[in-house]
Amino acid sequence: MINKRLKAGIKKIHKPEERLRFCLGTLVLLACCVILLIIGTFTQIKINFNIPDNGILSYLKFEYIPQIPIVLFIAALLGEFWGLLAILIYIILGLTPWYPVFALGGGLSYIFQYNFGYIFAFIFAVFFTTQQLKRGNSILNILLSVLYGVCIIHVIGIFYMTIIALLRHDSWNFISNVIYFQSFAKILYDIVFSFLAILIAKGSRKLLWILMN
């Protein structure tokens, strides 16, 4: 009898589509994920590489904000419903005048900021990432979910940013520079760190099923 229950529990844990049930623990986890996303918004990783070479790669300065990997971590950890809810809470908080949780502040007027498109795209990234993750836990499937999530954020972000720049009558040189620093210079890092984030979330999710179910 114990072996049957154990096997049933393990089988349930490995279901990628299984939703976290509504309970106090889930609400606490939801709040922690929103706080983690806020922290990630204001966290900057700085790493300097000194390479013994006289060429252009002799010194590399690496600065990275891990916001997108955290978004995909939340998607893989909480699943579709709770992941979307966490992102919506973050966006709603940021659009209020009381909680400036976005990188450049907050308030309803933030929708006219260049980078709001990236934030808005978190919703679509979580949805498509979780849909892909439902298909299994293979490395290829996780990589596809990362590519979907990261590319969706950057495509929507670039499109939104271009529209705002055109409405402000900015020059194409300015637009291209902003797009480069907001997307092209970061997208590879987003893919690598998001892949690691989802792997960590997958392991954490199994542990959560044991503790919460």
Both tokens of residue 113?
């900021």
10 vs 123 pLDDT, higher one: 123
Angstrom distances, CA of residue 143 to CA of 15, 68, 149, 196: 19, 15, 10, 10
**Mean pLDDT of the chain, nearest integer:** 84
What is the C-alpha separation between 153 and 208, in angstroms, rounded? 28
Q: Nearest 5 degrees, angle CA 77-CA 97-CA 112? A: 80
Residue 61 has pLDDT above 90, yes or no: no
Comparing 19-28, 85-94, 114-123, 164-173, which segment has the lowest mean pLDDT?
19-28
Look up residue 207 and give its two tokens.
């542990």
Distance of CA 121 to the CA centre of its chain: 10
Q: What is the C-alpha separation between 65 and 207, in angstroms, rounded?
A: 27
- For 2, the token pair is 């114990």
Written as six digits, the tokens of 122 are 């978190």
92 pLDDT exceeds 90? yes
Q: What is the pLDDT of residue 129?
A: 96
> Measured between alpha carbons, how far is 8 from 190 in angstroms, rounded to an integer?
36
Across the strands, what pairs with 102?
Answer: 105
Q: Tell me the three-class secondary structure of 90-103, residue by residue.
A: HHHHHHCCCCCCEC
For residue 16, the model assigns a pLDDT of 46
Average pLDDT over residues 45-69: 65
Whether residue 160 is predicted with pLDDT greater than 50 in this model: the reply is: yes
Number of other residues whose CB lies within 10 A of the CB of residue 208: 18
Which of 17, 6, 14 is CA-nearest to residue 207?
Answer: 14
pLDDT score for 182: 85
Q: Which of 25-39, 46-60, 81-95, 179-193 has the lowest mean pLDDT?
A: 46-60
Q: Is the four-CA dihedral 89, 93, 96, 98 of positive or negative sign?
A: positive
pLDDT at 212: 58
| Assigned token pair, 8 | 């049933």
The structure tokens listed for 10 are: 């393990």
pLDDT exceeds 80 at position 40: yes
Determine which of 17-26, 30-39, 84-93, 97-106 has the lowest per-residue pLDDT on average. Answer: 17-26
45 vs 209: which has the higher pLDDT: 45
Q: What is the rounded distance in angstroms from the CA atom of residue 72 to the CA atom of residue 199?
A: 10
Select the more confidently predicted residue: 19 or 24.
Answer: 24
Using pLDDT thresholds of 50, 70 and 90, give the confidence band for residue 14.
Answer: very low
